[in-house]
Structure 1
Amino acid sequence: MEITELLGYFGALLIGVVLGLIGGGGSILTVPVLVYLMYINPVTATAYSLFVVGVAALVGAFRNMQKGLVDYRTAIVFSIPAFIAVYITRKFIVPAIPETLLDINGFILDKQMGIMIFFAIVMLVAAVSMIKDNRKEQEEELEVKYNYPLIVIEGTLVGLITGIVGAGGGFLIIPALVLLARLPMKKAVATSLLIIAIKSLIGFIGDVEYQFIDWPFLLLFTAISVIGIFIGIWLNKFIDGKRLKTAFGWFVLIMGIYIIFMELTS
């Protein structure tokens, strides 16, 4: 086993640890780990990421269900447009993207490079969101109100982005649940995991129908991530999650810049 492969499996563990510690953000590492350490092409990596993220989020969602933190009605209202969008994106839009996106004076932007650059941009947005996240923990129960048109638009947008880059989109979902449905922060985080699980796994179905899936590798990688979640949940008792989230945001920012640099100079 090569050193990069060992680092890749360690990356799988780290993805789970981050998810367990801060309830999100770890999935943004899945595609870079698969592409740069496991040498999987970006289109396949985004498909694998949907499965890894979906299963990991489902484990976290079950844990939150046991604590009564999941708002099922909000999850359903948000999930329906999200999983429709992500399935359509994986089934029809991603396969329809041309192999050559741009060809100007010898500079060729192909499909794989385009997906990685778009993914890096999403990473930068996620990083800024994590670094600047100054929301206070809201413990009191508020009357949940549904702004249905905005929730549908937000769900569709998140589904589209998830379908293209294979990330969970928690950094988009959580603010939407707090602002549009007025959920307390802990319920928003818990409910977002269920939404991420549903739309990611349904999106992955769109890939199973036309892509070859290396199931032994994918299941091993996912199992290591799930182990990481339980380690993260345990570490959460001793580490300040808010400070960790800010530090992780800076790490994701650097990674996003690195990916853009690598793709444009390779």
Structure 2
Amino acid sequence: MTTLVLALIAGAVVGLALGGLGGGGSMLAVPALIYLLGFTPAHAGTASLLIVAATSLTGLLAHARAGRVRWRTGLLFAAAGLPLAAAAGALSAHLPATLLTVAFAVLAAFAAWRMLASARKPKDSARYRTGDLKDSARYRTGDLDADRPNASGPGRSAAAGAGLGAVTGLLGVGGGFLAVPALVSVLAFTMAEAVGTSLLVITANSLAALVPRIGTTGSLDWAVIAPFTAAAILGAWDGKRLADRFSSRTLQKAFAVALLAVAALMITDALR
């Protein structure tokens, strides 16, 4: 199988994850770039941020059209993580490849556990699938923040956003798998709003983490990154349609199983 075909297939899967779950795409992008396409961990992290930023922006537009983005709260959440995302992005270039691989594998396993745990809890999935946000004035005006109190104060919100930014910068992941549960549990978003708003957070954090990496990891293979990104962007639109058709529990369980397999592969490879 040629490199181009592998890049297209991997990109499509990453796009489906981002568009359908509001995150998790980079958890597949990084190992795909390393094990299928021959990138080093440092190059994979940088390329992943490029791919995820472009794909998340596409998914964000799709969810925004459906009225699933809480812009004001999402921007504040993202702003808290931007400084740490940039600082951690600069630090990552000086860390050993094995350490980054092990840390990524542990994070993937943690993300899978969180997804499996949350999939067992009652969700607002019926509202997500039927899209009854269309019946409200807020859907028509795009003001999803109106009359929606947060579950916590700004301190916890800022802490959650800062932690997400640090993870994004250090490991080259968008952090949507952490953003979605944080938005649901910390800020009392519905699942639909969390998925859409997380794409706003991912886009901002990915761009902030990418800037200090540019020029520090050497030249990137654009013959791989370009088709990978194009396939991911197309996949993000299909992922949004999957989110409309299937329950969030089903999508989360399937993705969690894939993440566990990725984590096991990376741990085994790093320690042998």
Q: Same fold (TM over 0.5)?
A: yes
2: distance between equivalents of 1:18 and 1:95?
Answer: 27
Gap runs ≥5 in structure 1: 98-110
Q: What are the equivalent positions in structure 2 for 1:1-266 lying under 5 Å apart?
A: 2-3=1-2, 6-91=5-90, 93-97=91-95, 111-133=96-118, 134-137=121-124, 142-144=148-150, 147-211=153-217, 212-265=219-272
Shift in CA distance, 220/3, structure 1 to aligned 2, threshold 3 Å: closer
Task: Show CA shifts across 1:178-227 (max 9, x none).
Answer: 23222222112111110101110221122124333334432221111111
SS at match of 2:159: helix
1: distance between equivalents of 2:25 and 2:109?
Answer: 14
**Is 2:86–2:209's contact at 8 Å kept on the other side of the alignment?**
yes
TM-score, normalised with respect to structure 2: 0.84
Aligned length: 250
2: distance between equivalents of 1:28 and 1:254?
Answer: 11
2: distance between equivalents of 1:142 and 1:136?
Answer: 18
User: Residue type of the partner of 2:232?
Assistant: S
Counterpart in 2 of 1:106?
Answer: none
Q: In angstroms, what is the RMSD of aligned CA positions? A: 2.1
**Is 1:85–1:163's contact at 8 Å kept on the other side of the alignment?**
yes
1:126 CA drift (Å): 0.6
Shift in CA distance, 144/240, structure 1 to aligned 2, threshold 3 Å: closer
2: distance between equivalents of 1:253 and 1:62?
Answer: 30
User: Residue type of the partner of 1:69?
Assistant: R
User: Residue type of the partner of 2:13?
Assistant: L
Shift in CA distance, 241/152, structure 1 to aligned 2, threshold 3 Å: closer
SS at match of 1:204: helix
Shift in CA distance, 71/234, structure 1 to aligned 2, threshold 3 Å: closer
Deviates more, 1:206-215 or 1:34-43: 206-215
Shift in CA distance, 208/63, structure 1 to aligned 2, threshold 3 Å: same
**Is 2:86–2:212's contact at 8 Å kept on the other side of the alignment?**
yes
**Is 1:22–1:242's contact at 8 Å kept on the other side of the alignment?**
no
1:135 CA drift (Å): 4.3
1:146 CA drift (Å): 5.2
1:50 CA drift (Å): 0.8
2: distance between equivalents of 1:234 and 1:69?
Answer: 13
**Is 1:131–1:247's contact at 8 Å kept on the other side of the alignment?**
no
**Is 2:63–2:240's contact at 8 Å kept on the other side of the alignment?**
no
* More relative contact order, 1 or 2 (CA 8 Å, 6+ apart): 2
1:28 CA drift (Å): 0.9
Gap runs ≥5 in structure 2: 128-132, 134-146
1:4 CA drift (Å): 5.7
1:239 CA drift (Å): 3.9
**Is 1:20–1:231's contact at 8 Å kept on the other side of the alignment?**
yes
TM-score, normalised with respect to structure 1: 0.85
